[in-house]
Structure 1
Amino acid sequence: MRKLHLILSLLFPFPLLAQNSNNVIPQNNTVKDTARQTDLIDIGKALFRISPQKMRAERDKKIYFSILPVSSSAPGGSGNVLITSTTAGVYLGPKRTTNLSSVTFAPYWNFKSRFGLPLRSNIWLKDNTWNIQGDTRFLYYPQYTWGLGSNRKYDERTLVNYKYIRFYQSALKRIEPYLFAGMGYNLDYHFNINNDNPEVSLKDYTGYNYGTGKNSFSSGISFNLLYDTRNNSINPLPGVYANLVYRINPGFLGSNDSWSSIYTDVRKYINLNPVDRNQQNTLAIWSYFWTTLNSKTPYLDLPSTGWDPYNRSARGMEQNRYRGRTLFYLETEYRRDITRNGLLGFVVFTNVNSVSGSGSLFTSWHPAAGTGLRVKFNKGSNTNIGIDYAASKGYSTVVFNLGEAF
């Protein structure tokens, strides 16, 4: 109960910042004048002398596509991979009353033993009456692991091979302006699990009894509470985001073992230059608290760095570096335009986490930091290409993304 009280105290002060009794969603009026912006599409038109057609009256439903093929290092330690990240943004209702929906498909392949087909969606129906969230993946995923907690050094890792199917779907209905509640279904199936070292099983290496055999199957329902004042999740404008997910995995739905968890995610975006809304000058703060509520959670379903819903946390650390029964994470990032037309920008960020497993939470902290370049790809959806360099003790990496990390 102490954990639950802590989570609720972290989560619920934010909805008190803005309340409105009207049925129409109040608006975040921080909207950029895209006529004054320049993106890579504009540059491409100029280079190839493509004459734009006469401006048509903008319809409510408009789709914005962004695509980024790139070679990058794979999280978890499998060398370089070829990633083709495609993001589509669309308004399913009037822009004045409807958030931008987004769908991201980012398949990757390292030409050897690793590939992934992740499809994620965040859909806002007309006037934000419903929010539909989806996360479907099929992964062939050899990945390093360091067991529970923080005791092992970096070179004491072991490689775990497995295949992974994820199917998450949830539907949330608006109950108050900016406030949504709903339910979802969550499935995690890890199979063909084996340690790269045949002399040491994953169970022996981790000292953990659940989900360390050949297969691990978790099937459950979730109860979701969401508070979101952002207009655009691809590149959030100033606002607040808070999400609470309580997941139950009972045996009668097929789970190998009954277990439950709580994931709470809070983000705040502060505009440091309110006079000129066309210039990015933002301080972004992100924190999440993820914990299991009993001892039978499968090993690969335990809270772990880099395993937030969009795999964007812990930049500068290898994915899966720290795993435990409870994980606390905090990140801050400063975002600023370099050019007046918004084509180029930069970010500076730092993050820290603490896990329980080989000790108590908050007794061992793991920091990382980095900086990055931003290039405006599509000003209509405010989508940036992000190129980040991040580092922590004994490890560094370059990360490519479409859209902001959070």
Structure 2
Amino acid sequence: MQSKIVVKLCIVYMLVCYWGFSFGQNAGDAIIQNKKSLDTARQTDLIDIGKAIFRIRPGKIREEKDKKLYFSILPIGGTAPGGTGNALITSTSASMYLGPKKTTNVSTATFTPYWNLGSRFGLPVRTNIWLPNNTWLIQGDTRFLVYPQYTWGIGSEGDKEGTLLSYKYIRFYQNALKRIKPYLYAGLGYNLDYRFNINTEESSPELEQYSGYQYGTGKNSFSSGISLNMVYDTRGNAINPLPGMYGNLVYRINPKFLGSNENWSSVYLDVRKYIPMNPEKRHQQNTLALWSYFWTALNHKTPYLDLPSTGWDPYNRSARGIDQNRYRGRTLFYAESEYRRDITANGLLGFVVFANVNTVSGSGSLFTSWKPAAGTGLRIKFNKFTNTNIGIDYGMSKGYSAVLLSLGEAF
């Protein structure tokens, strides 16, 4: 037991050191570079092409530089999050400035409903609001999801056959963080996860018997708690981050007196770094993006569906090329790198190449089994003023592959 605790502390220490090293950089230079890096006069997007095709006179189109509200709406089809077949997906993104552009990051709200023409659909709404001059950061994540979705039990050893799990899921997360120094924010949040009507297939054993885990494997699972949050962000634009740094530390406590089925807590540490490969050409995308997170449950009574699992980071963007839920345990460590590059000089087309790896505890100790994935993708500039791309990614791992469509970058 002590050795496991030491391993966890060592990983947290390494990530914090990496985070701290980046803190030592000049944050002011990073944010100024972000604000200057997108030269829309040299860019072309799908909106420009549409205007040319339909011969729409743009007039004083460059006045849009002072515009504060942008919408991106994209009806697409593809694999629903977590597999189980294709789905109809509509992604709507609103980007807005709530204060002066030079001193205020762009706020975003995304609504991505999907339906697989069967028993599965989702209504997720996510918001990231920056108040004028970045004095406050307000984060929101509200979802109503209806599954079936495959699950594979605890741990990463062996090739256990998955079982189809049906349930309904309500999530309500709200965080308010106050700026305490440039680019550094701290605050409180409320987090609710309610899963009900939990059932396996008729021919499969019940979830508790299948997983060998007794908490949160009944018909309902309710977790309600508060979180302590810290964010460090020099990106300026989370839709398509250019050179900068992001860090997020969340300590969540779920006591019974707030309605949780069990007392449990968790820690989530997320670190991202964006490195320009040719900083002299700011109007072109040529970036190496790095991402890692460490997620651990601190109690043995954490509900099964609240345990750290692949693809269940806050925005469900990790583990491309690996099925969501494929690996689950009390502790998960994840790392990913992606190279992003323009194909055309006007920024209309680009490509990415990515690789990721994860390890979870459960069947054996952490770091005894690494599960890699890799892939590549095409980028099409949808809106140059918000630097929003349409992403078409193909990811693969042992025994699994998928095409992923998105509005915006994976991270």
TM-score by length of 1: 0.96
- Find out whether 1:338 has 2:343 as its counterpart: yes
Match of 1:64 in 2: 70
Matches of 2:120 and 2:286, distance apart in 1: 38
Unaligned runs of 5+ in 2: none
C-alpha deviation, 1:151, in angstroms? 2.6
Match of 2:127 in 1: 121
Match of 1:325 in 2: 330
Q: Which one of the candidate residues 53, 68, 71 is aligned to 1:47?
A: 53
C-alpha deviation, 1:107, in angstroms? 0.1
8 Å CA contact retained: 1:61, 1:93:
no
Q: Kindly provide the amino acid, as one letter, of the partner of residue 319 in structure 1.
A: Q
Q: Kindly provide the amino acid, as one letter, of the partner of residue 399 in structure 2.
A: G
- Find out whether 1:247 has 2:252 as its counterpart: yes
C-alpha deviation, 1:62, in angstroms? 1.1
Q: Which one of the candidate residues 168, 173, 181 is aligned to 1:176?
A: 181
Matches of 1:199 and 1:128, distance apart in 2: 51
Match of 1:287 in 2: 292
Greater Cα offset, 88-97 or 284-293? 88-97
Matches of 1:314 and 1:105, distance apart in 2: 21
C-alpha deviation, 1:74, in angstroms? 2.0
Q: Which one of the candidate residues 12, 35, 40 is aligned to 1:7?
A: 12
C-alpha deviation, 1:60, in angstroms? 5.6
SS at match of 1:96: coil
8 Å CA contact retained: 1:136, 1:166:
yes
Q: Kindly provide the amino acid, as one letter, of the partner of residue 17 in structure 1.
A: G
- Find out whether 1:218 has 2:235 as its counterpart: no
When the two chains are superposed, the root-mean-square deviation of aligned CA atoms in Å is 1.8
Match of 1:17 in 2: 24
Match of 2:211 in 1: 206
Cα pair distance change 1:336/1:213, threshold 3 Å:
same
Match of 1:141 in 2: 147
Match of 2:392 in 1: 387
C-alpha deviation, 1:48, in angstroms? 0.5
Match of 2:368 in 1: 363
SS at match of 2:32: coil
Matches of 2:209 and 2:128, distance apart in 1: 40
SS at match of 2:49: helix
Matches of 2:385 and 2:192, distance apart in 1: 35
Match of 2:87 in 1: 81
Cα offsets for 1:91-110 (capped at 9, x unmatched): 11111111111111000001
Q: Which one of the candidate residues 382, 396, 400 is aligned to 2:401?
A: 396
8 Å CA contact retained: 1:136, 1:167:
yes
Matches of 2:117 and 2:322, distance apart in 1: 24
Matches of 1:58 and 1:94, distance apart in 2: 15
Matches of 1:6 and 1:364, distance apart in 2: 16
Cα offsets for 1:217-243 (capped at 9, x unmatched): 000000001111101000001011010
8 Å CA contact retained: 2:113, 2:122:
yes
C-alpha deviation, 1:58, in angstroms? 5.5
8 Å CA contact retained: 1:60, 1:91:
no
Matches of 1:395 and 1:286, distance apart in 2: 22
Matches of 1:58 and 1:140, distance apart in 2: 40
Cα pair distance change 1:199/1:307, threshold 3 Å:
closer
- Find out whether 1:104 has 2:110 as its counterpart: yes
Q: Which one of the candidate residues 251, 258, 263 is aligned to 2:263?
A: 258
Unaligned runs of 5+ in 1: none
How many residue pairs were aligned?
403
Q: Kindly provide the amino acid, as one letter, of the partner of residue 275 in structure 2.
A: I
Greater Cα offset, 9-18 or 220-229? 9-18
SS at match of 2:194: strand
Q: Kindly provide the amino acid, as one letter, of the partner of residue 204 in structure 1.
A: Q
- Identical residues among aligned pairs (%): 72
Matches of 1:58 and 1:75, distance apart in 2: 34
8 Å CA contact retained: 1:159, 1:197:
no
Matches of 1:241 and 1:180, distance apart in 2: 11
C-alpha deviation, 1:13, in angstroms? 1.2
Matches of 2:144 and 2:290, distance apart in 1: 31
Matches of 1:56 and 1:405, distance apart in 2: 29
C-alpha deviation, 1:19, in angstroms? 5.6
- Find out whether 1:34 has 2:66 as its counterpart: no
Matches of 1:9 and 1:152, distance apart in 2: 29
8 Å CA contact retained: 2:65, 2:385:
no
Greater Cα offset, 383-392 or 27-36? 27-36
Cα offsets for 1:150-201 (capped at 9, x unmatched): 13416x1100000000000000000000100000000000000011135511
Cα pair distance change 1:55/1:150, threshold 3 Å:
closer
Matches of 2:392 and 2:263, distance apart in 1: 41
SS at match of 2:33: coil
Cα pair distance change 1:56/1:334, threshold 3 Å:
closer
Matches of 2:42 and 2:202, distance apart in 1: 57
SS at match of 1:43: helix
8 Å CA contact retained: 1:145, 1:159:
yes
Matches of 2:283 and 2:204, distance apart in 1: 59
TM-score by length of 2: 0.94
Matches of 1:215 and 1:139, distance apart in 2: 15
Q: Which one of the candidate residues 306, 319, 322 is aligned to 2:311?
A: 306
C-alpha deviation, 1:73, in angstroms? 1.4
Structure with more helix by fraction: 2
